[in-house]
Amino acid sequence: MTIARSRQISLQDTPYYHVVSRCVRRAFLCGEDAHSGQSYEHRRQWVVDKLGQLSRLFAIGINAYAVMSNHYHLVLKVEADIAASWSEREVAERWAALFLWPPLVRRWYQGESLIEPELVVVQHLITLWRERLHSISWFVRLLNENLARQANREDGCKGHFWEGRFKSQALLTESAVLACMAYVDLNPIRAAIADRPEESDYTSIKQRLDDPSTSDILPPLLLPFASQGKPDGLPYAFIDYLMLVDWTGRAIRIDKRGQIPAHLAPILQRLGLDEVRWLKQVMLFRRQGLRVMGDREHCLLFARHCGQRRCHQPSL
């Protein structure tokens, strides 16, 4: 049975979530279709471009992303405190970059005198927009709707582009966040599209390694690592994360289509994770139906805060 999105997200437990959205019938509508010979590779750039816009307007940080031929992955951080710090005018300006204002809001913004009931309506709209601007559902909705319209216009057709609702998983622990980021950044390697992270197009790890000054477009805003001069960034050293991704890509199961051609990363020891347990956690993101990732204690708290007695927790 489908579970309401409000019961799958609990910001008091974690701001981190893994999001996956797939093309209808899992068709290769964003890549090279081997059956028809048609190439839709340019649509992957559409996703990256829209992520670039949304990451600058929403109070939602991007830890990692990978745009594949028939689906994409995002690791997001909801930054509700940042949204709460915006002034009413800033909220309105951010919303105006996405939608047209009602005439009443335009009058308010231009400094016209409004009567009390009109001010109440404006303040209600500002409150609503502030909530939406740190909502994962609204973030993904705008991302998906934009691409669907562009693709249908290009194909001269109508109908669904994405299959059903996007899937989300709550990442309750530090190791769950790291494992998910590594899983996402290694997607092209496991699919045998690339054999090394620095050549994995349309991924966050390649963006982090590239020189941003060489790009003519604004790439998605990625949350920085604390080692990159940002004390409020991801609490890891970027070099350690690169070593972790590299080691995981080499050690991932050999029966997968692709892998990095074994190198033990020091960060594993600091997290208290052994090799087998770490790889098992990374590969869990392939399983269907898992809504949370973390240890037993965090999973039970998350279920309670979402109004559930328990949630299925994978064993590690």
> Tens of pLDDT along 200-255?
899 999 998 886 655 566 789 999 887 655 666 787 778 788 888 888 887 665 55
pLDDT band per the 50, 70, 90 thresholds, residue 296 = confident
How high is the pLDDT of residue 261? 53
Which tokens in the block code for residue 173? 């622990």
Which helix (H) or strand (E) segment holds residue 181: the answer is helix 174-185
Q: Which domains does the chain have, with CATH numbers?
A: 9-82+134-305 (3.30.70.1290), 87-132 (no CATH)
Query: Per residue in 143-152, pLDDT tens?
Result: 999 998 988 8
Question: Is-contact 199 32, C-beta < 8 A?
Answer: no
How high is the pLDDT of residue 111? 93
Least confident range from 10-14, 55-59, 301-305: namely 301-305
Close Cβ partners of 293 (under 8 Å, ≥ 6 residues apart): 18, 169, 170, 171, 172, 173, 176, 179, 180, 281, 284, 285, 314
Mean pLDDT value across residues 26-44: 77
Burial readout 123-149 (b: 16 or more C-beta within 10 A, e: otherwise): eebbeebbebbbbbbbbbebbbebbbe
Q: Does the pLDDT of residue 134 top 70, yes or no? A: yes
Amino acid, single-letter form, for residue 306: C
For the chain, count helices (H), then strands (E). Answer: 13, 5
Query: Per residue in 273-285, pLDDT tens?
Result: 566 666 677 667 6
How high is the pLDDT of residue 65? 97
Instruction: Please give the model's pTM, rounded to 2 decimal places.
Output: 0.81
Query: Per residue in 161-211, pLDDT tens?
Result: 888 788 889 999 888 899 899 999 999 888 888 877 888 899 999 998 886
End-to-end CA distance of the chain: 26
